[in-house]
Amino acid sequence: MNDLKRTVILFNPMNIRGIGDFTLPMGLIMSAIKIHEKYNVVIVDQRIDKDWRQHLANLLEENPLCIGITAMTGRQIHEALRVSEIAKNKNCPVVWGGIHASLLPEQTISHPLVDYVIEGEGEETFAEFIDALASERSVNKIAGVWTKEFGQPSCGGKRPFVDLDKLPPIPFHLVDFKKYVNPRHYKGSIVMYTSRGCPQRCTFCYNNTYNRSHWRAFSSSRVLDDMQRIQSEYSGINHFELWDDNFFVDLKRAGEIADGIRRLRPRVTWSVLGAHIHDIIRMDTNYLALLKDSGLKEMVVGVESGSQRIIDLIQKNFTVEQLFHINRLLGDFGICPTYSFISGVPGENDNDIKKTIEVMFRLMNDNPNIRLGTIKPFICYPGTTIYEKALELGFVPPKHLDDWSSFVWTDYLNLRIPWVPKKRRELLSWLYYYSLLMNPEYMFINSKLFKIIVSCLRPIAKWRMKHFMFNFPIEAWLIHIFQRKIL
């Protein structure tokens, strides 16, 4: 009975509004995978729980063992600190985990509102930590746990990666599952993760540190079992979105999953968030036919730049000609790619950006069945290779945990980026907004009003992008103001 078990609160802070974030809080769900039967684990998701304050207040009255809070770099940190203060006022131990705390554990544990940090994967570390806390044993020597020993940051050491297939069944029941089904996407889609990490070494990616450039995956049979279980236990699932960092690393495994998906009953469709050109180029026509037949509808492909010089500089490991080739191939098989781009990496110039725009238009001409993403201003996050380069160029990172909360691309104009002068930051911002205006169907924006406005301004945006003309960017300013309000 739950009333005989000690309560463990897990909290997922709000990030960006207006994006229509239906992603399951998988980091928290997986952290509970080994403790949910022994303890009363309660997940509070600020994104979907309008009464989260009262819900949290009630839970804090139960004298919980602790509250575990996850946060990525950016706005989640602001909300996470606000919740940490609420918990501390009730004498509840505060544990931070997630990407940001794992990349900067010393700075995170040094904050007065943070008592412990779980570095890296939480399944085994958090279970060992909770058992120690419940039995009032010391947690100081637990691998993966950061504490304050005599007021100084201290860690019990690195913990090896978990063996994914040896983990117990995922406890989806810990959340109100139906609230994470996106009714506007394929009439009912749910996000899943089937692997972790990526073997590529893109200089701007956190995977180089967080996953140590390793790729690990659930077996194809385990993935298909989870899909079948979700289908049988929860209604309204017509589409699976696989949000892996890099799904197609093992083509044999991915093919087995595709073959299994086409055998699921009732039939479903699916999409892939993370696909790399290096892997797609290895697919033959039979493989692509299998993907099409299995119901694969779309995949997000990170291009980042149309300039081969920049592609090589950031170690993306493909050529522009390979991009054009896979674009035509995917078009032939009716699989819709969404291409993502960035601007503002150290060393980039106007000619590189113009090449990116040229590539975007050629991709559209060669394959009308695509979704172009945006050209998003690059921000150097901790844990990336390029972050070290940024430090060499004079970048001064936030000195305190609180300050990372404003380190977001939506506030790009106000960030201190030494290699990008203020005037050029304005150009890159307009570039982002006009690339967004070119794409009313942009997959990560769910505001209907926003999409209507974008549709009306699309012809102007295409003209400006094509001619690299961003003088008097009235339309971009309007979208900038509107987006800041909804985000």
Number of domains the chain contains:
2
Give yes or no: residues 297 and 357 share one domain. Answer: yes
Q: How confident is the model at residue 441 (pLDDT cuts 50, 70, 90)?
A: low
Give yes or no: residues 280 and 134 share one domain. Answer: no
Q: Which residues contact 231 (CB under 8 A, 6 or more apart)?
A: 237, 264, 266, 268
**Is residue 166 assigned to a domain?**
no
Q: Is 316 a residue whose pLDDT tops 70? A: yes
Q: What is the pLDDT of residue 17?
A: 54
Give yes or no: residues 457 and 384 share one domain. Answer: yes
Could you give the percent of the chain with pLDDT greater than 70? 95
- 120, 155, 190 - which closes a domain: 155
Q: What is the pLDDT of residue 3?
A: 52
**Is residue 168 assigned to a domain?**
no
Q: How confident is the model at residue 460 (pLDDT cuts 50, 70, 90)?
A: very high
pLDDT tens-digit series, residues 362-395: 999 999 989 888 899 998 888 899 998 999 999 9
Strand-pair partners of 190: 240
Higher pLDDT, 325 or 456: 325
**Is residue 160 assigned to a domain?**
no
Tell me the average pLDDT across 201-216.
Answer: 92
Give yes or no: residues 331 and 184 share one domain. Answer: yes
Tell me the average pLDDT across 192-197.
Answer: 97
Q: What is the pLDDT of residue 457?
A: 85
Strand-pair partners of 95: 68, 116
Q: Is the dihedral of CA 391, 302, 408, 427 positive or negative?
A: positive
What rounded mean pLDDT belongs to the chain? 92
Q: Is 19 a residue whose pLDDT tops 60? A: no
Give yes or no: residues 258 and 377 share one domain. Answer: yes
CB 32 within 8 A of CB 43: yes
Say how many CA atoms lie within 13 Å of 19 toward its Cβ.
11
Give yes or no: residues 227 and 334 share one domain. Answer: yes
Q: Is 1 a residue whose pLDDT tops 50? A: no
**Is residue 165 assigned to a domain?**
no
**Is residue 145 assigned to a domain?**
yes
**Is residue 467 assigned to a domain?**
yes
Give yes or no: residues 125 and 240 share one domain. Answer: no
- 155, 184, 213 - which closes a domain: 155
Dmax over CA atoms of the chain, in Å, equals: 68
- 155, 188, 220 - which closes a domain: 155
Give yes or no: residues 361 and 416 share one domain. Answer: yes
Q: What is the pLDDT of residue 442?
A: 62
Tell me the average pLDDT across 299-316.
Answer: 97
d(CA 397, CA 407): 9
The DSSP code sequence of 241-295 is EE--SSTTSSHHHHHHHHHHHTT-SS--EEEEEEE-HHHHTT--HHHHHHHHHTT
pLDDT tens-digit series, residues 210-239: 998 899 999 999 999 999 999 999 999 999
Q: What is the pLDDT of residue 18?
A: 47
d(CA 318, CA 462): 27
Q: Is 231 helix (H, G, I), strand (E, B) or coil?
A: helix
Q: Which domain holds residue 72?
A: 2-155
Q: How confident is the model at residue 485 (pLDDT cuts 50, 70, 90)?
A: low
**Is residue 161 assigned to a domain?**
no
Q: What is the pLDDT of residue 408?
A: 83
pLDDT tens-digit series, residues 76-111: 999 999 999 999 999 999 999 999 999 999 999 999
Write the CA distances from 418 to 344, 382, 394, 411, 422, integer angstroms: 11, 16, 6, 16, 9
Give yes or no: residues 142 and 207 share one domain. Answer: no
Q: How confident is the model at residue 415 (pLDDT cuts 50, 70, 90)?
A: confident
Give yes or no: residues 127 and 180 share one domain. Answer: no
Strand order in the sheet with 40-45: 40-45, 7-12, 66-70, 94-97, 116-118, 145-149, 152-155
Give yes or no: residues 149 and 178 share one domain. Answer: no
Residue 109, domain CATH? 3.40.50.2300
Higher pLDDT, 118 or 151: 118
pLDDT tens-digit series, residues 124-173: 999 999 999 999 999 999 999 999 988 899 999 999 999 999 999 999 99
CB neighbourhood size of 153 (10 A): 15
Q: Which residues contact 145 (CB under 8 A, 6 or more apart)?
A: 116, 117, 118, 119, 125, 129, 139, 155, 156
d(CA 381, CA 305): 18
User: Which residue in this structure is represented by tokens 């000609």?
Assistant: 321
Tell me the average pLDDT across 409-427.
Answer: 88
Write the CA distances from 385 to 97, 195, 212, 313, integer angstroms: 22, 22, 12, 11
**Is residue 289 assigned to a domain?**
yes
Give yes or no: residues 146 and 255 share one domain. Answer: no
CB 93 within 8 A of CB 65: yes
Residue 193, domain CATH? 3.80.30.20
